[in-house]
Every structure is written in C-alpha cells, then in structure tokens.
A and B are shown apart, each in its own frame.
Chain A
C-alpha cells in the first residue's frame, strides 16, 4: 500500500519544553493507525502537526508523496483533504444544518447541492428534525456526531481523530466507531489516524498502533503484536493497565 502520511524525525518544542522528540513513522493508505500513550505524552501534538495546524520545530512531513510545511502555499489545499475531529465537540454558533454545510460552503459548493447533501446526511445522523436548532443546544453526543459528519461530509482522504469518543456514553461511542468503519469501507484508499488513551478502542479499531511516551515513539507494531507480545516494557505496562506515572 502507498504511504498516505509520514513523519521524518519530527520534533516540537513549546516555549523550550519538548513535546515531541524525533518522531518518525509512516501510515499507509487503507490503514487505521492508532497512537496511544499517557496524558501529556505528545499524542495531540503529533495530530496537530499532521493536520498542519502546528509547524514542527525540526523534521519534515510527507503527505501523499510530497513534503509539505504549514507555511507552504499549498498547505490549505492539503488540509482541505484531511478531516479532523477533536475530543471536545466544537460547533459554530449557528444551526445544525449550517454547521454541517460549513465544510461544503467554504469549498465553494453550490447552495442547492449543499442543501441536498446536508439534508441526506442529517437524516442518516438522526438529526434531521433538529436541523434548524442552534448546534450549541445539542447534547454532547449529538454534537460530536455532528462534528464527525462535518469533518467527513466532503469525503477527505484522511481522517485524524483526537480522543474523538473520550467523553461519550457507550451508545454514542459505538455509533461513532461504526461511522469510522463506514468511512473506511467507502474507499479503500482512505486513512484514519486515531489518538486515544482507550486501549479497548485501539484494540477494536486500529490495524497498527504506536505507543508514545514522554514525547518519544517507543514502539510501533500491528495490533496483535502490540497487545499480545510487545517488545518494549513500557508498552507491556501500558497495555496491561499498570500505573505509568
């Protein structure tokens, strides 16, 4: 499989504090790649760099075979082909329909086409009856489902999920995980990168998993090896639920 995204020796410092140290790995198309690790290990930093929201202090990012930096003219085009969902659902102060249509509106879609797609998508989400409600009045689970749909409605080729189901009830977690699987089924060339501290979710969803520890990638392995026969003692401790602090 072709490489969708690769980090080459990427480091990041915030005000002199190291958040990420020389991370190097590649994620292939068709893969659901998990990044796990304790809180503050640097998981979200990796995702923000992958989405070109942060520039690495050192190292390079390769997307679809081309090096790209946050300051490049084509960074916006590259970012438009990536969907991202954050842990905290972030909705705009406008209706449910307008929130969902926002992704399409900024891509210059025609109004009628936006209305059609939004209508169909809201029916699928079970939110059609609330399409005129201000999105801030939705429940947490509904908001996150809306955010997920908004990040994928334009059919990006890569999806970055940052603890996307961390604060939700089991029913909503299951709904969202099913949506991720559906997103992957629709096109075998798509890629998902999931940041999570939930071992069960990583086990359910990811084909390959990386453990990040104190800003360093300590092990990358396929799911079976990662959970059953990890090489690094820290991975073994983490997957067995031992205290890592």
Chain B
C-alpha cells in the first residue's frame, strides 16, 4: 500500500523512470526504423507497414508474457535474473512503444512534401543526408510519436504487473498501485493516485509540446 508521501514519490519517480526509459529506447529503435521503412523502396513494403500498424494493438499483457517467458528461470535469458525488476518492465514496455513510434514515423516522413525530398536531392545531399533532412522536416510528427509512445506506457498496467510483480518499494508503479488500492477497497486513495498519474503525464506532455513547437532555426 502507498501510504506515505515518500512512498508516493518513489512510486511516481519509478513510473516516470520506467515509462521514460521505455519511450527513449522504443523511440531510438522506432524512429530510424520508421524513417527507413517510409523512405526506402523495397519489396513487401506494404505488408511491413500493415504489420506495423497492426502491432499498434499489441496487448501489453502479451508483451509482458513474452518478456516473462524470456527472463523466467525456464526461459532462454533466465540466468540474467532481471525478472521482477524495473529493467524487465522497461523491456516489456519498449516492445509496446516500438510499433507506435515506427508507424507514426512512417506516416510523418511519407507526409513530408515530395518537393522537399526532390530539392534536398537536387542540392546534392547523399541518401543518408537526405533521410536526416527529411526526418528533421518531420520533427512535429516525430515528437508526436514519442508523446503517443509515452502515453501508452505510462498508462499501461498489464506488462508492468506481469514482469514487475508490483513489489512494494521495488517495482510498484502508479498503475499497479492504483490496481492494488482498488482491490483493497481504497477507492479514494486509488483515485488520488490516478490524479497523480494524470499530473505526471501532463507535465511530460507539456515538455514534449514545447519541444514540438520549438521554432526550427
């Protein structure tokens, strides 16, 4: 149970840490992957895009289950001993961020006007310089991808519960704490935690929006 101010702070900070790291890792993989899929021509591109969009609906509990199996004693990576740690939670949530960030990046870079892509090429940019320039032009969409990725993981409970175990002082985050408090009948306290969760999300989104609207110079 989250009963003191210090405990609430710990749970809140852990929520931010796990969701933030999952968003950073998921974006570090999803943004380049999305740019590659969006800007390169290759066979089966349509199928890859459809698969990516389908994975938007990837159930958190399934992501948790896969990571649980991988890091359980019987699993191939069981020796690492990271099950029921924040690291396992970050890994499970990263899998949830990747398809969202990849998909939104694909859309964002494809939406960059063809005249920009042609101009960059005509000015003499190499293929890698062209991709970087187009990504910069798609900045608003890329930040949006990170926002949506963060929004998904800060609010999810299935993966965090399954691979974290909701251990007091170790892997308890705001969503799993809300679940616990609700089960214990502490509805008002659960509701308060919900308000804390929304406030944390609000602060992160405010920061990301400022980043998004930053004038490019």
Contacts and interface: CB of A to CB of B under 8 A. Distances in A.
Q: Are A and B subunits of one complex?
A: yes
Given A76-B126, A79-B121, A150-B123, A90 B115 contact: yes
Given A94-B216, A95-B217, A88 B122 contact: no
Given A92-B137, A93-B216, A94-B216, A102 B115 contact: no
B123 A93 contact: no
Contacts of B113: 90
B116 A90 contact: yes
A103 B120 CA distance: 9
B213 interface: no
A103 B124 contact: yes
A88 B216 contact: no
A72 to B, nearest CB: 14
A163 interface: no
A192 interface: no
Interface string A38-67: 000000000010010100000000000000
A79 B121 CA distance: 8
A80 interface: yes
A150 B126 CA distance: 17
B173 to A, nearest CB: 37
B212 to A, nearest CB: 12
Interface in A209-243: none
Interface string B80-121: 000000000000000000000000000000000101101111
Contacts of A106: 123-126, 129
Measured as residues with beta carbon below 8 angstroms from the partner, the interface class of chain B is 20 to 34
B136 interface: yes
Contacts of A82: 122
B41 interface: no
B215 interface: yes
A74 interface: no
A20 interface: no
A207 interface: no
Contacts of A88: 115
Nearest to B122: A84
Interface of B is mostly: helix
Contacts of A150: 123
A107 B124 contact: yes
A79 B116 contact: no
A94 B216 CA distance: 5
Contact of A134 (B123, B124, B137, B216): B216
Contacts of A134: 215-217
B126 A86 contact: no
A151 interface: yes
Interface in B158-217: 215-217
Contacts of B126: 76, 106
A98 interface: yes
A132 interface: yes
Contacts of B119: 84, 86, 90, 147
A53 B123 contact: no
Interface string B121-135: 111111001000100
Contacts of B115: 86, 88, 90
Max count, chain B CB within 10 A of own CB: residue among A84, A92, A134: A92
Contact of A132 (B116, B129, B217): B217
Nearest to B134: A92
B139 interface: yes
Nearest to B121: A53
Given A102-B123, A106-B124, 17 more contacts: A53-B121, A84-B119, A84-B122, A86-B118, A90-B113, A90-B116, A90-B118, A90-B119, A92-B133, A94-B136, A94-B216, A102-B133, A106-B123, A134-B217, A151-B122, A151-B123, A154-B124
23 contacts: A48-B118, A51-B122, A53-B118, A76-B124, A79-B124, A82-B122, A84-B122, A84-B123, A86-B119, A88-B115, A90-B116, A90-B118, A90-B119, A92-B116, A94-B217, A102-B133, A106-B123, A106-B124, A106-B125, A106-B126, A134-B217, A150-B123, A151-B123
Interface of B: 113, 115-116, 118-126, 129, 133, 136-137, 139, 215-217
Ranked 3 nearest A-B pairs via Cβ: A80-B124, A84-B122, A95-B217
